[in-house]
Amino acid sequence: MVNYKDLGLVNTREMFKRAVAGGYDIPAFNFNTMEQMQAIVMAAVETKSPVIMQVSKGARNYANATILRYMAEGAVAYAKELGCAHPEIVLHLDHGDSFELCKDCIDMGFSSVMIDGSHLPYEENVALAKKVVEYAHQFDVTVEAELGVLAGVEDEVSAAESHYTKPEEVIDFATRTGCDSLAISIGTSHGAHKFTPEQCTLVNGVLVPPPLAFDILHEIEKKLPGFPIVLHGSSSVPMDEVNTINQFGGKLEAAIGIPEEQLREASKSAVCKINIDSDSRLAMTAAIRKHLAEHPGDFDPRQYLKPARENMKKMYIHKIVNVLGSDGKLAQ
Ligand code: G3H
Ligand code: 13P
Ligand code: ZN
């Protein structure tokens, strides 16, 4: 049993309180590789931002659970080495699908876990989330639960269609589960294809997707004043990265994300955690494709992973400073 406090990690409680009160969001970036981890830490240190580094079940299968945990411990030391005396780094399980997986992560040093019972019948979702909360809180680990189902398909996360969160359920759910934050469904979805072109309107040659359901978000806020709300599926799918991928041999058709203005709007509300994974994948892939196309003789991974890391770092800094507003928000 390893406690996250001994690794220099923090849970989400205090940072969420400050983010809700201050009208900004904490970035939650997924990582699977060393380069992603380095780029996240460099971006957080340069912008003096708290950060959530999250690991999915798929990431644990890909990189090995123990290695990822040690990488998060290394992230704290790396942040200090880069000059940040008091980094605020959360190691979070993304989309935990069972009590056993959440317990395993808590026991190995995670400071926060998500239990995703959103696909279950309501009472089963409540019971599962409550069980995880009861275990996690013994160790001061914070818990995110989810109500409502996101559309989209991910390796380990799938939902054929979106069911918006029902505001009339949130008080009962938060009270009975004791969860620390609530992921809601208001029109975001996972992956790089969040909307079909038919669902969008063409404005000045750009496909603009339908707005998020801000009415539902505001109703939820009224029911649970000040309660931390989480948005999954919040990548914006930048067109310049998609175009670079396609220019250098990729084939990403009709990739459409959430406009950044909408995320900026959401950050002023009780939304205090924004999940971004696909934009990191796009930034990495675009840089690698470009580098290898322009330097066909290169075969040392450092030659193409270095620009990939730089491009991800640039994207993370952009999100922190221009979209989420968490720059300069470290407690000390
Ligand atoms: O929400 C899902 C995340 O993007 C993680 O995706 O399960 O493919 O690692 P993954
Ligand atoms: P994106 O696919 O929009 O990056 O969402 C990531 C996510 O929600 C991770 O839980
Ligand atoms: Zn998600």
Summarised one tens digit per residue, pLDDT across range 199-241 is: 999 999 888 999 999 999 999 999 999 999 999 999 999 999 9
Cross-strand bridge partners of residue 208? 201
> Given ligand 1 and candidates 156, 194, 274, 276, which is best to mutate, with the most ligand atoms within 8 Å of its CB?
156
| Percent of the chain residues topping a pLDDT of 70 | 97
Asked if residue 145 has pLDDT above 50, the reply is yes
Asked if residue 157 has pLDDT above 50, the reply is no
Distance 295 CA to ligand 1 centre (A): 31
Burial class, 200, CB count within 10 angstroms (exposed 0-12 / middle 13-18 / buried 19+): middle
Residue 204: count other Cβ atoms within 10 Å of its Cβ: 5
Nearest alpha carbon, ligand 1 atom 9: 58
Asked if residue 134 has pLDDT above 90, the reply is yes
Nearest alpha carbon, ligand 2 atom 9: 275
Q: Cα-atom radius of gyration of the chain, to the nearest Å?
A: 19
Question: In the predicted model, what is the mean pLDDT of residues 310-323?
Answer: 98
Asked if residue 56 has pLDDT above 50, the reply is yes
Answer yes or no: are the C-beta atoms of 113 and 93 closer than 8 Å: yes
Supply 250's token pair: 């990729």
Asked if residue 125 has pLDDT above 50, the reply is yes
Three-state helix/strand/coil letters over 285-318: HHHHHHHHHHCCCCCCHHHHHHHHHHHHHHHHHH
Cross-strand bridge partners of residue 310? none
Please give the backbone phi and psi of residue 229, each rounded to the nearest 5 degrees, phi first: -110, 140
What pLDDT does residue 206 have? 86
Please give the backbone phi and psi of residue 36, each rounded to the nearest 5 degrees, phi first: -65, -45
What pLDDT does residue 161 have? 58
CB of 277 sitting under 6 A from ligand 1: yes
Collapsing DSSP states into helix, strand and coil, what is residue 237? coil
Answer yes or no: are the C-beta atoms of 4 and 109 closer than 8 Å: yes
Q: How far apart are CA 319 and CA 314, in angstroms?
A: 9
Distance 131 CA to ligand 1 centre (A): 24
Distance 154 CA to ligand 1 centre (A): 6
Q: Could you list which residues have their CB under 5 Å from ion ligand 3?
A: 232, 275
Instruction: Read off the pTM.
Output: 0.96
Q: How far apart are CA 152 and CA 158, in angstroms?
A: 6
**Closest-lying ligand 2 atom to the alpha carbon of residue 232:** 8
Of the CA atoms within 13 Å of residue 110, those in its CB half-sphere come to 30
Ligand 2 site residues (CB inside 6 A) read: 30, 94-95, 190-191, 232-235, 275-279
Q: What is the amino acid identity at position 141?
A: V
What pLDDT does residue 162 have? 66
> Given ligand 1 and candidates 52, 93, 94, 237, which is best to mutate, with the most ligand atoms within 8 Å of its CB?
94
Q: How far apart are CA 14 and CA 185, in angstroms?
A: 24
